[in-house]
Each structure stands twice: as structure tokens, then as C-alpha cells.
Amino acid sequence: MTTEQLTFKQKVLAENQRIAASLRGRYQTAGLLCVNLISSPGSGKTALLEKTLEALGQESPRLRVAVLTGDIQTDNDARRLARYGYPVKQITTGGTCHLDGTMIERHLADWDLNDLDILFIENIGNLVCPSSYDLGEHSKIVLLSVTEGDDKPLKYPSIFFKSDLFLLTKIDLLQYVPFDADEVERNARRIHEGMEIIRSSATAPGGLDQWLTWLHAKLAAVRAGEPALATKA
């Protein structure tokens, strides 16, 4: 990378940090929990969100939830998620491998955050680029499925270091694949010793119970005044 390219990247990240700080303040004022879901393609982000929205929709009182979902092309995920009756917007980047603060700010322009309890951001399928961009969220959540490699936390340490929660997905498939769930958790904690880890399944009965409990606990903490923290360097 040349000096000019490095300077440009630093300016872009600095501007993103400014916007992220503004978003963070807006979330805090509204008492809104914002979570940023990040994974490689095929880890099950959209399936997790589908089942999460379905479960939240059956609760009483029903939480006020919205979703921003990012993809390089198509609005397929937004159409899948909109079936659950919550406001959903597609962010189509046209080639950019991450969401940034400007995209989030623009797509939130006509939503009143005071009318929301939880904002889910489904990031682009990528474990590298999204780790550099703060979206003002309370938590980055990294997803990894058992159909991938149990050494991925070591290959992509930045996103595991910056994530508060690691969701190991598709655990219903463990009996069919050569994947060591205990090893992947050890690898994740070698990068981020204090991170929370939840094993989940979007298809098995009760497979999202721990995830839903975590969401409710995090929302309660936000309502009690827990701040949204800036992304770790």
C-alpha cells in the first residue's frame, strides 16, 4: 500500500468513526440495542435472523425490532426477513465488502429510533473488512458454522478480538462433519479470552434459546444505561 493509499484509508476510517460516534449517541438516547452480525458467507446469519424474528414475534409484549441487511447484490435476504412483519431494509453495496457508518446513517434516516427496541445489522459475508468499521453498535457478533474450519479464529483474529459474542452455528450438523467444537472455542479464547460463546442451531428445537436469553439480557442492560462502546483498535 502506497503512502497516498494509506492516508486515504486513514481519512475514510476517521470519518467513519465520527459517524459511528453520532450513531452510538442516537442509540443510547433511544435506549435501543444495536447488534452487528458478521460472518463469512454461508454461516447462517439470515437463517438465524429468520428464526430470531419468528421467536420474538411470538413473545408478549412484542419487542419493536428492525433489520438492516447488507449484500453486494440482490435483495433476497431482505425479502426473506420481511415476511416476519418487522421493518427491514436492504443495503446493496454493489461491490463494497463491508457496511460503513454512512450506509447505516442513510438507511436509518426515515426510521424513528425511539420506536425501536432492537436494531439488527446483518453485515456483508466477510470476516476481514467488516472488522475495521465501527457502526456504533453495542456488540459485534461473529458467527462461525461447524461446516467451516475450527482454526478460523486464528486465521481471522481481528473480528474475534473485536466481537463480544461468538455464535457457533449449525451445531445440529456436528455428527456429520469433522469439526471440533471444543477446539474452536479454545482458539477463539486464545484471541479474546473474555468473549461469550453460544452454540446454536436455527433448526433444532431449543437451538436458539441461549441466544434469545443473551439478547434479552443485553437489551435490559442497555435500558439500564449500559453504553454502546467504540470498536476496539
> Domain extents for the chain?
3-61+70-223
pLDDT average, residue stretch 158-177: 97
Q: What is the pLDDT of residues 200-227, one digit of tens each?
A: 999 999 999 999 999 999 999 999 988 7
> Does the domain made of 3-61+70-223 have the CATH classification 3.40.30.10?
no
Q: How far apart are CA 48 and CA 170, in angstroms?
A: 10
pTM, two decimal places: 0.94
Q: How far apart are CA 200 and CA 70, in angstroms?
A: 22
Q: For residues 195 and 163, is the Cβ–Cβ distance under 8 A?
A: yes
pLDDT average, residue stretch 122-147: 96
- Provide the pairing of β-strand 118-122 with 33-38: parallel
Q: For residues 121 and 135, is the Cβ–Cβ distance under 8 A?
A: yes
Q: What is the pLDDT of residues 92-114, one digit of tens each?
A: 998 899 999 999 999 999 999 99
